Amino acid sequence: MEELTPQGQPGSGPNPPFWVTAFAYGGALLAGYGLIVTGHASPAEASGYVAPFLVVYEKMLRRWGF
């Protein structure tokens, strides 16, 4: 019987630099705040507009091995 060696799982590698994550989440926070302050969206709508960008960011991290 063939013995299988464990393969690296996505997301098990080193963490990205702190400033990258801070920039992504800080930018999303500022974008949502800007939408609310300018009156273009309610808080619930702003979170709906901004959340997909954070999901894409997290998926990119997994794809790149972070």
Answer whether 0.85 is exceeded by the pTM: no
Lowest mean pLDDT among 6-10, 11-15, 41-45, 47-51: 6-10
Give yes or no for residue 8 having a pLDDT over 80.
no
Quick one: which of 62, 66, 29, 24 has its CA closest to 47? 29
At CA 36, angle to CA 32 and CA 40, rounded to 5? 105
Residues 29, 35, 36, 41: is their CA dihedral positive or negative? negative
